[in-house]
């Protein structure tokens, strides 16, 4: 049985979420991987005693524990509680409701009591920031859906668009600009009240014209445009740092509570968020997007001028 629980690593005043995967299977042994230091490796002895002294037990099966990200060193006894709770959940000795919504850290005494740990404040701040986010993905191309599933990019890949839209707090339309109107009509009846919908199109006035009239009045449409990407396309063209230090433009005449929420989400992806209006966006992007073509055209024209044979050479 596989179970995931969450802890945190603290470096200075910054905390990083640690995912602890506990798998219990047939066999015997206790295998802890993911760059744990000696204090973390010794946790099995403290955990075993703490469980035994409280009516539980360390399962006599093969226990494999992975602490991710695997390239980040895990230090100290504060992971005792995280590991113990993962073992109890994976072995079904205790049934937890929404265990994935909690971040647990603490050093265990042999009697099962929890000792104070260092770095509790940044861990608490990180826990508040990292509220559980479930991502649902849909693409009309079934090959793309298969790729996303294999790459484990989303929490769930849906075969129908309505399954991805139902009860979603945020919907991001990463589709061709020419498809905006039809897709808006298609998803309109599935949008929940108060949801935010945005897009990644490169033009904004036409997108607003195509989407806004087709949406219910109780949802919030905030157009946006991430200035990021490569010459490649498709799910495999993405990477974890795609939006880091890249501008993500929100299209609005004023800053609102909803633009702040959306901007905060994009900021957590590493983006630099700015708010501008649609007319200014389209005017500036039209200039910058055509500039390379104008420069290239001018260079080619100049080269042709100086390489064409003169009348004297005829």
Exposure of 29 in the CB half-sphere (CA atoms within 13 A): 8
- Do domains 2-129 and 167-290 share one topology? The answer is no
Burial class of 311 by CB neighbour count within 10 A (0 to 12, 13 to 18, 19+): exposed
- Burial code (b: 16+ CB inside 10 Å, e: under 16) for 96-119 equals eeebeeebbbbbbeeebebeebeb
What pLDDT is attached to residue 314?
46
**What phi and psi, each to the nearest 5 degrees, are found at residue 193?**
-60, 130
Structure tokens at 213: 């009239």
What pLDDT is attached to residue 238?
80
CA distances from 134 to 30, 48, 156, 159, 171 (A): 31, 33, 8, 16, 12
CA 201 from centre of chain: 20
> Averaged in consecutive runs of 10 residues, what is the pLDDT profile of the chain (314 residues)?
89 82 93 94 95 94 94 92 95 83 89 85 69 80 89 82 91 94 95 95 95 95 92 81 90 94 87 94 82 70 60 48
Residue whose C-alpha is closest to residue 129's, from 273, 274, 269: 269
CATH code for 2-129?
A: 3.30.230.10
What pLDDT is attached to residue 121?
66
Cis upstream peptide for 46 (omega within 30°): no
Domain range list for the chain: 2-129, 167-290
CATH code for 167-290?
A: 3.40.50.720
What pLDDT is attached to residue 307?
57
Q: Under DSSP, is residue 126 helix (H, G, I), strand (E, B) or coil?
A: helix
């Amino acid at each position: 049985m596989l179970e995931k629980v969450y802890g945190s690593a603290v470096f200075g005043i910054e905390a990083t979420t640690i995912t602890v995967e506990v798998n219990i299977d047939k066999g015997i042994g206790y295998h802890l991987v993911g760059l744990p230091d000696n204090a973390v490796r010794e946790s099995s002895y403290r955990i075993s005693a703490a469980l035994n002294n409280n009516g539980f037990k360390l399962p006599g099966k093969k226990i494999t524990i992975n602490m991710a990200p695997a390239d980040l060193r895990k230090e100290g006894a504060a992971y005792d509680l995280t590991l113990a709770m993962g073992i109890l959940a994976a072995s079904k000795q205790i049934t937890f409701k929404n265990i994935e919504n909690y971040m647990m850290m603490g050093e265990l005494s042999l009697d099962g009591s929890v000792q104070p740990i260092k770095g509790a404040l940044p861990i608490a701040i990180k826990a508040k920031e990292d509220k559980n986010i479930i991502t649902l993905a849909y693409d009309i191309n079934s090959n793309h859906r298969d790729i996303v599933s294999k790459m484990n990019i989303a929490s769930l890949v849906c075969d129908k668009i309505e399954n991805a839209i139902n009860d979603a707090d945020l919907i991001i339309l990463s589709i061709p600009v020419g498809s905006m109107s039809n897709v808006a009509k298609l998803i309109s009846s599935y949008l929940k009240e108060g949801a935010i919908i945005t897009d990644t199109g490169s033009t904004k006035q036409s997108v607003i014209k195509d989407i806004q009239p087709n949406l219910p009045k109780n949802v919030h449409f905030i157009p946006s445009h991430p200035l990021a990407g490569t010459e490649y396309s498709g799910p495999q063209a993405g990477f974890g740092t795609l939006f880091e230090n890249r501008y993500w433009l929100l299209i609005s005449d004023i800053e609102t509570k909803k633009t702040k929420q959306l901007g905060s989400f994009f900021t957590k992806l590493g983006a630099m968020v700015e708010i501008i209006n649609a007319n200014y966006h389209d005017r500036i992007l039209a200039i910058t997007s055509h500039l390379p073509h104008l420069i290239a055209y001018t260079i080619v024209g100049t080269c042709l001028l100086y390489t064409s044979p003169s009348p004297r050479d005829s």
